[in-house]
Amino acid sequence: MPTSAALPLPADPHSYARPTEVSVRHLMLDLSVDFRTHILSGEATWQLQDLSEAATLWLDTRDLQIDAVSVGDHKHDTSTTWELGQPDAILGQSLRIALPAGTSQVTIRYRTAPGAAALQWLTPAQTAGQQQPFLFTQSQAILARTWLPCQDSPGVRFTYEATVRVPSHLLALMSAENPQMRNALGEYHFRMTQPIPAYLMALAVGDLAFTPLSGRTGIYAEPITLPTATSEFADLDKMVAAAEELYGPYQWERYDLLVLPPSFPFGGMENPRLTFVTPTILAGDRSLTSLVAHELAHSWSGNLVTNATWNDFWLNEGFTVYFERRIMEKLYGRPYADMLQVLGHTSLLHTLAELGPASADTHLHLNLAGRDPDEGLNEIAYEKGDYLLLTLEHLVGRDELDAFIKEYFARHRFQSMDTASFLAYLRRQLLNQHSGLEEKLQLSAWVDAPGIPTVAPPVTSERFTLVEQARQDWLDGTPATLLSTKGWSSHEWVHFLQGLPDPLSSDKLAELDAAFQLTHSGNSEILAAWFPHTLAAGYHPADAALESFLTRVGRRKFLVPLYKALLAAPDGHERAQAVYTQARPNYHSVASGTLDVLLGRS
């Protein structure tokens, strides 16, 4: 099916770009990676689409050293005038480039700053193998501008090709067609023929190896991590097939995973063709692979149809969470997916309580102008967005909702979507087909009001009902060793721990720990649910493991609540500062930026 005409989009409050005047359409990138200076240097050549005969190209930058700008092709290029705007703490600086009449191509020679916010430079000691350095990028939400002069708005798409030079003993990968082995020169060439927004630009360089899982899926990781990762993600091709059965063909050719060192700030990042994932999901029992299903689902929701601005972030994440759980249900059954839904609902309730019952930040459609868009990266977009779709499923049935979603992805592929346009499409294609459906759904209450509308159906899990009974039995005096926990997944253990009252006595926690070795669990989700209880109770046998976890793991989802719990503990402020001083060099700027504020370092 052909895509529909691109929709007119709202202005992006987080970009200086003026794509309605001059828009970028293709990037030719040439970069050298210097691990000694922590600098990327080279040039970005943009092919342009002039929509209004404008005399200026507006790009986004932040902390870039611009050395020269020229127009025309490389054989006949000429210098042109350019100017950087006043710096803004969030947005960086505009780069305004004068365009002589007829200009179709602009080349910018530049260098990144050693502290570029998107770039995480790791020493060998910070990697799994501890032999070679490592570099990875994290461009979402507006950090692409710290390593690439670009129109850094999710509403602007471009194709790209790149040449990247790295030390010859390391492998370079991008969100593009990728090599599967090193070459002797350390020079790698990349091509991305599907148009993507700047936040999906990605680069990783390190001691990496590859194992194929099927003709279109495989795993990249450090050699020491690769066997474990290959086993953990053995169902990857089944996930892709399940996703296609639900919502149509996978449009990106290959789907590979890159397992990063532990300092990666997120669970995963849906870079096209090459999802970045945290090693904290390597649980040994495939129990945390719903995160991979989530990133895979982004290949439709987010990468294929993209939020137009970060105020519309729920359009990326709400659909993706719903899609993720449908994939997991298809692979592992409804009871498994129900556990994920209940855990997500618990997280949503916690976020609503933190933000407050009347907070505008609990609306699906946000107003983030003047703020870092990372402030919208919370459970509202993810879980409230999913809950809206779950409610719609409850009202119209799965078959009709699935047909709507499949058509939505097909009709708007490789385009951006804002909230107003989506609501108009939803009304036209689905709601108006049923008398009174919009009122039953309480659509405006989901999108432009706080909290959870009353129409939302309850979420339950039969497996969690058994967990809750075991938890109550233990609280009522049944010895921990007599609880029926055999075969519990990570999700059941997390639900058990999240429902415990605080504070429990150290003796009660010691009993649990002796029975189930929770302090030394190899599962990061279990540890993240366990440590707040140990801190509240002053259970000191877990202190060393907690500090090791905070120093080793950079995933913001774990760090923020654990530092909050540590700060709330007796003498916790001093302990938190000491741990953070040691751990901060291991964290990506996405994590340290949040934690600096929390710990009073900003």
Instruction: Write out the catalytic residue numbers.
Output: 295, 382
Positive or negative: CA dihedral 177, 180, 183, 186? positive
CA 192 from chain centre, in angstroms, equals 20
Q: Are 345 and 464 in contact (CB under 8 A)?
A: no
Cβ count within 10 A of residue 50: 16
Q: How many CA atoms lie within 13 A of 524 on its CB side?
A: 23
| Strand segments (E) across 62-202 | 65-71, 78-79, 82-84, 93-98, 105-111, 119-122, 134-137, 158-165, 171-174, 187-196
**How far, in Å, CA of 565 to CA of 573, rounded?**
10
Residue type (1 letter), 6: A
Measured in degrees and rounded to the nearest 5, phi and psi for residue 111 equal: -140, 145
Residue type (1 letter), 337: A
**How far, in Å, CA of 407 to CA of 59, rounded?**
34
3-state secondary structure of 509: helix
Residue type (1 letter), 280: T
**How far, in Å, CA of 29 to CA of 64, rounded?**
15
The answer to whether the peptide bond before residue 357 is cis (omega within 30 degrees of 0) is no
| Integer Rg of the chain from CA | 24
Q: Where are the alpha helices (DSSP H) in 305-461?
A: 313-332, 334-355, 379, 385-396, 398-411, 419-429, 437-441, 443-448
Q: How many CA atoms lie within 13 A of 11 on its CB side?
A: 6
Task: Please give the span between the terminal C-alpha atoms of the chain, in angstroms, as a whole number.
Answer: 51
3-state secondary structure of 525: helix
